[in-house]
Amino acid sequence: MGKKAPKMKSITKSKTKTHKQKVKSHKKNKNISKQKYRTKQRSESQDKLKKPEAPLTDYLTHKSNYIAVRFIFECGIKLGLKHITICSAAVYFHKFYKHVDETAYDNYSIASATLYLASKVQDETIRLRDLINVCYHTLHRDAAPLRLAEDYWNFRDSIVHAEMLIMRIVQFDTTFDHPHHYFLHYVQTLRPVFYSKHGKDIIVFKKAYDFLHDFYHSSDIFQFKAQHIAIACIELAIKVYGIPFQIIDYEIKFWYQALVEDLDKDTLWNVMAGIMDTYDFELTTN
C-alpha cells in the first residue's frame, strides 16, 4: 500500500496541471476575443465618424491663382515639405503675379517653380525629378507614369526657366516675415489660460492654424503685419468656437494688446475680414 501512494499523487498532480493549462488557454482565448471585439468596435465607430472625402480638384479646368496656390499646397504635402516651405512658395507665387499679367504665364508652371525655389531657400532641397513627377500626376491624375521622353524634358525645362524668371521678377528678394513664428509664440502664451479654464485649446488653435494657412491663398497677406495676422487667426477661431467671456474679459482689456501693443480693434477687424474674404475666392472659382 505504501508503494502505490506516490503513483496516485503523480496522477493528481498531472490532472491539476492540465486543468491549470486549460484555464490559462481559456483566459488567453477570452482576452484575444475581447481584443478582437474592441478593435472591431473601434473600427466601426471610426467608420461612422469618418468624414466623406472631398472630391479631388481638376486643376486643368481651373486657371485662377487661388486654385494654383491650392495646387502648391497639395504638391508640397505630397512631397513631404514643411509648412513654412509650402507657404514660402505661395508667397513667391503672389509676389511674381504682382508684377506680371495673370494670363501671360502658365500659373501651374510658375507654381511648380515656386516650390522648387522655396525648397532651396528653406534648405529643404528636393530632387527635381520627384517634383516633376508629383506636379505632373497632380495635374494629370489618370495619366501613365511620365517617361524620360520629350514631355518630361519639356516640363523640366519649363520649371527651370520659370525659376530663373521668378527670381528676376521679384528682384532676388526671397525674404518674408512669416506669421508662423509669432503664432507659435502666442499659442504657447495663451494655451495655459484655455487649457485650465475651458479645455478647448487644441481645437481653437488648430482652427486658427487652418485660418493662417488658408490666408496664404490670397495676396492680401502682404497688406498686414505678420504679428497682426497671427493674432487675427487666433481671435477669429475664438469667435468661431464662442469662447465665453469668463476666459477673455474684453471689458477690462483686449487680450491681444498684452502681446501686440500697436494692434487696435479696427485693424484687427480688417485683418479678420481679409481672412474671411479668402473663402469667397473658393466660391467664385468652383
CATH 1.10.472.10-classified regions of the chain: 65-170, 179-284
Query: What is the pLDDT at residue 223?
Result: 92
Residue 219 CA to residue 210 CA, distance in Å, equals: 17
Query: What is the pLDDT at residue 61?
Result: 84
Assign 125 a pLDDT band (cuts: 50, 70, 90): confident
What pTM does this model have? 0.75
CB atoms within 10 A of CB 99: 10
Residue 219 CA to residue 67 CA, distance in Å, equals: 13
Q: What is the CATH number of domain 65-170?
A: 1.10.472.10
Give the dihedral sign, CA 172/278/223/207. negative
Residue 191 CA to residue 179 CA, distance in Å, equals: 18
Query: What is the pLDDT at residue 258?
Result: 75
Per-residue pLDDT tens digits for 232-250: 999 898 888 877 655 555 5
Give me 37's grid cell: 471585439
Mean pLDDT on 58-79: 89
264 DSSP 8-state letter: -
Residue 172 CA to residue 188 CA, distance in Å, equals: 34
Is the predicted pLDDT of residue 116 greater than 90, yes or no?
yes
CATH class, 179-284 region = mainly alpha
DSSP 70-125: HHHHHHHHHTT--HHHHHHHHHHHHHHHHHS-TTTS-HHHHHHHHHHHHHHHTT--
Query: What is the pLDDT at residue 34?
Result: 55
Residue 85 CA to residue 102 CA, distance in Å, equals: 23
Mean pLDDT on 96-122: 92
Assign 166 a pLDDT band (cuts: 50, 70, 90): very high
